[in-house]
Structure 1
Amino acid sequence: MVFLYNIGIRLYFLAVYIASFFNAKAKLWINGRRRQQISATDDCTWFHFASLGEFEQGRPVLEALKIKDAGIKIVVTFFSPSGYEIRKNTPLADAVYYLPLDTAANARLFINTIKPQKAIFTKYEYWYHYFNELQQQQIPLYIVSGIFRPKQVFFKWYGSLHRNMLQMVTHFFVQDQASVNLLKSINITTATVSGDTRFDRVWANASNPKTLPLIAEFKNKQKILIAGSTWPEDEELLSILISKHPDWKWIFAPHEIGEERIAKLLNLLPYEGTIRYSQLKNNTQPIIGTRILVIDNIGMLSSLYQYGEVAYIGGGFGRGIHNTLEAAAFGLPVIFGPNYLAFKEARDIVELKAGISISDAEQLTEASDLLMNDAEYRDFASKKITAFVQQNTGATENILEAIG
């Protein structure tokens, strides 16, 4: 099975290499690994994240460790360019790298170079050779904010290699009891329910948000629907709603902000009253009379939600919805597409009637009528979703207590 795994890793590399000739993200993936120089460290704590979302999820643990021990050395690795490129200069880490391809030689060289005291992986990311090398060197490996589902490969008859990877983990800090039970079903008992560290992160952000004066000026005491991390399928549906709610303002923060993507979004929206954030920032267009704002930069979304009343979370017509908790922490009821069942917090929000999943334009119209026109229901949903976030904080403290 390891032989097949090694072939799969190399085929993946080949596919990304070929894609790098015409895909910018694949090019960053290849060139970033090729050009980086990994420096020797001693006695560091190694945090690995798949991408930016996992970084934000594990960030509370990282920050808490830094507070507990100001002299601690931190090495951070990312698998994806979307995490590395945005957080490569984070002051929270002494060094930030792309994770080298998962081969036995790479794993041995990387771990022998950074010499971690412990390794902390967040949610997803299971790499056989890195896990094996950590185990061989008796370096503790922790998974934080893990969550498991029956359909995952670990619980299939053909998943023996992946089950073997899980056996190499020192301890799992998982989000729910169902994950503990699934791990027990394959004879893994080193798991405890700690909760999801994202709740700590978003609650801290909402408790002390970064103010955005231009957004406050745009809001001008009016109600706003904020569409966060949207894709074209989301935007096509949302564009239909604009004329139905003339007393509302709209902020679109698309998941991708390349010029081509922004241009396509702008073509969907009414020409009159629509402005890009860069135009607002550079004073090239007046803010008076604008109803729709398109965010064409990265890093604002988690602070934007403080100015909204309702949020639409993108991604639900693709691989899965993006982060609902950033909006929820500010008390915004949420709407999202049908692909949300893999996300426990989204299922919980729907059950609380503080979030609504939609599959088409008709359902989106019904959801918007309820959350945008019925102030009493919106207030009910806002209180429910705020309490939900607050009640689920505390995972970071639980994890630190256990790993020391």
Structure 2
Amino acid sequence: MPKLRLRRDFERRNNELPSFKDISRQADACFHVSSEGELEQCMVLVQDLLENSKLVEIVFTSDSVERRCLRLNEQFENLRVYRLALLNFPFFKFSDWVTAKKLYMCRYDFFSELMLYGARRDVEFYLLSGSLKNKEEKSGHLSFSKFSLYDFIYAASTKDVALFNKLGIKNVVEFEFRILQISKRLDLANSTLESRSQLDNYISLLKNRDPSTCLILGSAWPNEMEVFKNEKFIKSIINSEIFVSVAPHGLSDEFINSIIESIHKFAPNLPYQILKKGEEIIPGRVIINPVPGVLLESFSLFSHCFIGGGHGRSIHSVLEPYLAGAMIYCGPRTHRSTEYDFINDLGSENIRLVQELPSLFDKLGEYDRKKELTKRAKIIDNHRKKYKELLDKLIC
């Protein structure tokens, strides 16, 4: 009951949110997102529309993305946001609020009220980052009926394009929108990192080391501290042969304490240090970095990146460190990650699976970082060119 009450109150806050109907205007596009990850998928398109003075609507389903949507709403006068009503329907109806005749949905969520609106003859209906990953066995007449409602689908990977084609959906092409958003942040990585005074000593140390001797555990979970259950690894850290930084998945005191407890459990003799403003970094220690909002930018300073989640529910974003130039290592739970498929399509040598956590150190290998950075810069450039070609179709 408490969860239902929270959901009800979440939706009732729609009373505070205006619609473009209130000023007799029609939006150029409406986006639906269910999470911050989905908002990231379409953010480059949302920003381009807003910055070109287009009227934009965002409807969101989860309170996990509420703060960011409301912040955008405060930033842009040409934006309206709305919480999708699941419990309070029909008292709050999406169709009573929306004005746009172009509706963009992202990835997986197919709420009937949105699908019915998108299926209208006077509405152009798009799916961004569409995927059939792990849905092959369920793909049949019902899936065809659902996906055939879209006027066009931008799939998350070439594998997904093939699966959609197999299903009988032909109006589909591969395009990873996140590449553009990630590349924008990487272009500003140095200035972003330098703006955080807590990172001064951290950045200085990394810039004075060979990146091939630097490893970051990104979006790391406590159970993944088992990577340190390797005496050769511990010795290399203590002797400063390798610099290791841990960027925890959660940044609360409770989560960071659980990371520390896990290090004690698996490697009781391994020294660590929590990064703090003004403190010198002591050589031979694992550095725990709790500074928020800089993980993507930090990847540019490391040649090796282990991404967390793969020994739990599923791996987190591997596309960010890949585009930053790192060799990627992750656990075997890749079943939900279209980014893993995207990178694998470009070459399986770019990403290495770590089945047993203590074996990570033994899997670290040499690679031509300069060559990889050039290759990945070309991927970004090609996506930018493709995006320019499809932008007119999407926003005209």
Determine if the TM-score, normalized by the shorter chain, exceeds 0.5: yes
CA contact (8 A) 1:305 1:327 kept: yes
CA distance in 2, matches of 1:299, 1:142: 30
Question: Is 1:84 aligned to residue 71 of structure 2?
Answer: no
CA distance in 1, matches of 2:237, 2:359: 16
**Would the alpha carbon gap of residues 331 and 63 (structure 1) be closer, same or farther in structure 2, given more than 3 Å must change?**
same
CA distance in 1, matches of 2:91, 2:110: 15
Deviations 1:133-162 (A, max 9, x none): 332473222112222236357514xx62x4
CA distance in 1, matches of 2:32, 2:99: 14
CA distance in 2, matches of 1:83, 1:331: 29
Question: Is 1:196 aligned to residue 196 of structure 2?
Answer: no
Q: CA deviation at 1:333?
A: 1.1
Which amino acid letter does the alignment assign opposite residue 70 of structure 2?
K
Which moved further from structure 2: 165-174 or 343-352?
343-352
Deviations 1:71-107 (A, max 9, x none): x122223333332234430235723343322887368
Which amino acid letter does the alignment assign opposite residue 57 of structure 1?
Q
Aligned residue runs from structure 1 range 73-112, under 5 A: 73-90=55-72, 91=75, 94-101=79-86, 105=90, 109-112=93-96
Question: Is 1:207 aligned to residue 201 of structure 2?
Answer: no
Task: Output the TM-score relative to the length of structure 1.
Answer: 0.78
Alignment length, in residue pairs? 365
Question: Is 1:249 aligned to residue 228 of structure 2?
Answer: no
Q: 1:353 aligns with which of 344, 349, 352?
A: 349
**Would the alpha carbon gap of residues 33 and 274 (structure 1) be closer, same or farther in structure 2, given more than 3 Å must change?**
farther
Deviations 1:241-280 (A, max 9, x none): 4443342333222222232211111223479863434xx2
**Would the alpha carbon gap of residues 32 and 256 (structure 1) be closer, same or farther in structure 2, given more than 3 Å must change?**
farther
CA contact (8 A) 2:44 2:181 kept: yes
CA contact (8 A) 1:196 1:395 kept: no
Which amino acid letter does the alignment assign opposite residue 244 of structure 1?
S
Q: What residue is the counterpart of 2:224 in the other structure?
A: 234
**Would the alpha carbon gap of residues 292 and 80 (structure 1) be closer, same or farther in structure 2, given more than 3 Å must change?**
farther
Which amino acid letter does the alignment assign opposite residue 359 of structure 1?
Q
Aligned residue runs from structure 1 range 219-298, under 5 A: 219=203, 220=205, 221-222=208-209, 223=211, 224-238=214-228, 240=230, 241-246=233-238, 247=240, 248-269=242-263, 274-277=272-275, 280-281=276-277, 283=278, 286-289=279-282, 291-298=285-292
CA distance in 1, matches of 2:50, 2:126: 17
Deviations 1:319-377 (A, max 9, x none): 32111121122211111111225434424545341221111035313213x2xxx4x55
**Would the alpha carbon gap of residues 115 and 348 (structure 1) be closer, same or farther in structure 2, given more than 3 Å must change?**
closer
Counterpart secondary structure, 2:349: coil
Counterpart secondary structure, 2:119: helix
Counterpart secondary structure, 1:306: helix
CA distance in 2, matches of 1:250, 1:365: 11
Q: 2:103 aligns with which of 99, 119, 127?
A: 119
CA contact (8 A) 2:218 2:295 kept: yes
Deviations 1:201-258 (A, max 9, x none): 2122222324323434214123532221122232332565444334233322222223
Which moved further from structure 2: 208-217 or 257-266?
208-217
CA distance in 1, matches of 2:353, 2:58: 35
CA contact (8 A) 1:311 1:334 kept: yes
CA distance in 1, matches of 2:149, 2:329: 39
Which moved further from structure 2: 317-326 or 30-39?
30-39
Counterpart secondary structure, 1:116: coil
CA contact (8 A) 1:349 1:385 kept: no
Provide the identity percentage: 19
Question: Is 1:400 aligned to residue 382 of structure 2?
Answer: no
Which amino acid letter does the alignment assign opposite residue 225 of structure 1?
L
CA contact (8 A) 2:129 2:156 kept: yes
CA distance in 1, matches of 2:362, 2:12: 51
Q: What residue is the counterpart of 2:11 in the other structure?
A: 33
CA contact (8 A) 2:133 2:335 kept: no
Q: Which runs of 5+ in 1 are unaligned?
A: 1-16, 22-26
Counterpart secondary structure, 1:338: coil
CA contact (8 A) 2:126 2:151 kept: yes
Deviations 1:157-182 (A, max 9, x none): xx62x443323222212234443443
CA distance in 2, matches of 1:294, 1:35: 38
CA distance in 2, matches of 1:385, 1:310: 15
Q: What residue is the counterpart of 1:11 in the other structure?
A: none
CA contact (8 A) 1:216 1:307 kept: no
**Would the alpha carbon gap of residues 150 and 398 (structure 1) be closer, same or farther in structure 2, given more than 3 Å must change?**
farther
C-alpha RMSD over aligned residues = 3.2
CA distance in 2, matches of 1:344, 1:174: 10
